[in-house]
Structure 1
Amino acid sequence: MKSLKKQRRIQVIAICAVALIGATALIGYAMRDGINFFRSPTQVMEEPPAANEVFRIGGLVEEGSLVRGEGEAVRFNVTDTNASVPVVYVGVLPDLFEENQGMVGTGTFDGEVFIASEILAKHDEDYMPKEVVETLKEQGVYKGEDAQESSY
């Protein structure tokens, strides 16, 4: 009898393990498009991502680079003071979007230009996205320990 109980217990544990693995795989599969990795302009230029990979890029809008085209097309460069990436966005920009301010964009990189599908911008005098502050700190460029850090 004890052997039958052990066998049942092992079967239940095996079924639970398979169910857990299956649930984890389904959750991972469902989230594959919802996970966007953040990259700085330096990282994008050093190791360009695949053309179909959706990711987030953040930095400062480079001064003098903002060009509004016909309709809703906008071109500008995003920089982390070390590298600069050209960005194209078709749509209405946030009200707080302007040169020398922090921004985060979601989209793809075609090898030369970041094609943004979404642009987020927020600022006060000291604001920069958290990821940009960390990147600038790593480069030794960030000045302003009291600056407000915030996330989107």
Structure 2
Amino acid sequence: MKARSKRLMLVGGGVALLVAAVALVLSAFQQNLVFFHTPSEVAEGKAPTGKTFRVGGMVEDGSIKREADGLTVSFVITDTAKVIPVSYRGTLPDLFKEGKGAVVQGKLEADGTFRASEVLAKHDENYMPPEAAHAVEQASKAAATVSQ
């Protein structure tokens, strides 16, 4: 084999390895990509059914209901315009309370209930996740426009 053929095979092999590595990285990135939606967007059907995404807003006052097993909790997330019922099985963060900001990650079921696999709560009195704060602000503006 000539030196030129060896070089071409080596370069071709290197390019093939690079393409395979990039494909694996993009595949892993796509599988772990989680989008954020507001309750209003979910109610309008803009959120994917059966795929994992996040919903954020305020936990509606009086909406937290605990099941007898002690692990299953249902509550409602709102952006002041729309509400999304959420079901979660697991331990809630200590800071999770009614009237406070929260972001839940999971899937939307066919019946409209959001089945959460993870619940994130605010970490101090002044903090709300930026996405949730923006969603509440936008919903409040929309509600003010509609009521006028």
Normalising to structure 1: TM-score of the pair?
Answer: 0.76
CA RMSD of aligned residues (A): 2.5
Q: Matched residue pairs, number?
A: 138
Counterparts in 2 of 1:103 and 1:7: CA distance versus 1, 3 Å: same
- Corresponding residue number in structure 1 for 2:44: 46
% identity of equivalent residues: 38
Alignment CA distance shift 1:139-1:12 (3 Å):
farther
| Deviation per residue, 1:84-132 (Å, 9 max, x gap) | 0000011111111110111111110013100011111124332211101
Which protein has greater RCO, CA pairs closer than 8 Å, 6+ apart? 2
Structure 1 position 126 matched with structure 2 position 120: no
Correspondence for 1:68: 66
Relative to structure 1, is the Cα distance of residues 92 and 24 closer, same or farther in structure 2, using a 3 angstrom cutoff?
same
**Partner residue, 2:21:** 23
For structure 2, the residue ranges without an aligned partner over 5 or more in a row are 142-148
Matching residue's letter, 2:132: V
CA drift at 1:57: 1.1
* Whole-Å separation in 1 of the counterparts to 2:14 and 2:43: 46
Unpaired runs of 5+ in structure 1? 1-5, 142-152
Q: Distance in 2 between matches of 1:64 and 1:131?
A: 23
- After TM superposition, the structure 1 stretch with the greater mean CA deviation from structure 2, 92-101 or 120-129, is 120-129
Q: Does residue 1:90 correspond to 2:89, yes or no? A: yes
Once the two structures are overlaid, the 10-residue window that deviates more, 88-97 or 39-48, is 39-48
Which region of structure 1 is more displaced relative to structure 2, 74-83 or 28-37?
A: 28-37
Q: Distance in 2 between matches of 1:119 and 1:138?
A: 22
Write 1 or 2 for the structure with the bigger share of helix.
2
Name the TM-score, length of structure 2 as normaliser.
Answer: 0.77
Given that 2:102 and 2:132 are in contact with CA atoms closer than 8 Å, whether structure 1 keeps it comes out as no
Structure 1 residues 21 and 137: CA distance shift in structure 2, 3 A: farther
